[in-house]
Amino acid sequence: MRVGVPKEVKVHEYRVGLVPGSVREIVAHGHEVVVQAGAGAAIGFPDDAYTAAGATVAADAEEVFATAGLVVKVKEPQPAEWARLRPGQVLFTYLHLAPDPDQAKGLMASGASAVAYETVTDANGGLPLLAPMSEVAGRMAVQVGARCLEKETGGAGILLSGVPGVPGAKVAILGGGVVGSNAARIAQGMRARVTVLDRAPRALQALDVEFGGTVDTLFATAEAVEDAVLAADLVIGAVLVPGAAAPRLVTREMIARMRPGSVVVDVAIDQGGCFETSRPTTHAEPTYLVDGVVHYCVTNMPGAVARTSAVALNNATLPFILQLADKGLRRACAENPHLAAGVNVHQGGIAHPAVAAALGLDYHPFGKDA
């Protein structure tokens, strides 16, 4: 099979679908790889590194899409990329279709099969291709939140860690999964006063054991969420319903009651966001104010640390890419139901139940006739 890697076109997105080490592994399996010129150059992977790994370097994206049977990306395809996809082709990337009906329609119209990193599962019920970027985003959320609390960015002028005689900032984390637990580790390490809210008792118990009681844990009732949000200097939205739109846990009225200069970081923005006042932003213009509260809602947070993120993502995606290349979509998914869970679009229909429900479209299960 020919595997294609186009250069990412989203604003300030420097990650790349395959790093040279992954290309070498794919070529060793007997496949061809075509990489768009400059695809990894911004993060220290020049074209000659790909050539040395066995890839062919294409002059433009048109050549990549026209010749590849499997297209590997990082972020959701943009409108110009939908038009380049074709029936029988497989796209493997993050999609986040639930809040994006236009993209869903574009992919359906293309006739291609689109497999989403974020809904591939594992034997433990986890999301192994979302996890590495969730780890990055969770850790970054505290980093950017601390920056946004500084006065010149619109924040209240609070140092996250505090100093002797002055307490650290109050940080409320909505969700105790991969994003939330990683955010808690960084925030607690920076000596902030941390509260994590979740509806899963096991998640709260695990956090309590890990932190030895130095991080407060709360069951996420509506009252507990409201109280924590209103008391916090920094709120991190870290909730996830696989494939579906994120629940809106924080209302506009609650935002209006927060202290001016408080900060919200919505890591769930890829799935629509968990704050009612959230709207997608970019690394070029990452923040905006609502009622004096700083909102950071960048949809590709890990893109800011693109080299770390690209390598971490490849570590997770490479085994699945090899399965798709070695066996094709039908056989790979028949043999691996966890990969099959990643199929979101197939033969013009939505093939994931949560995505179909979120978009209000018919669900067309991906079956053995694929």
Catalytic residues: 96, 270
Helices and strands per DSSP (H, E), number in the chain: 13, 15
Token pair in block for residue 196:
């994590």
Distance CA 7, CA 99 (A): 24
Which DSSP string do the residues of 123-159 spell out, in sequence order? TTS--TTTHHHHHHHHHHHHHHHHHHTSGGGTS----
Contact call for residues 38 and 104 (beta carbons, < 8 A) = no
Q: In a 3-state reduction of DSSP, which class is residue 122?
A: coil
Distance CA 103, CA 275 (A): 22
Q: Which residue is it, tokens 């998640």? A: 203
Task: Please enumerate in sequence order all residues whose Cβ is within 8 A of that of 113, keeping only pairs 6 or more positions apart, or say none.
Answer: 89, 90, 91, 329, 343, 345, 346, 347, 370
User: Which amino acid appears at position 96 of this protein?
Assistant: H
Per-residue buried b or exposed e for 134-158, using 16+ beta carbons within 10 Å of the residue's own CB: bbbbbbbbbbbbbbbbbeebbbbeb
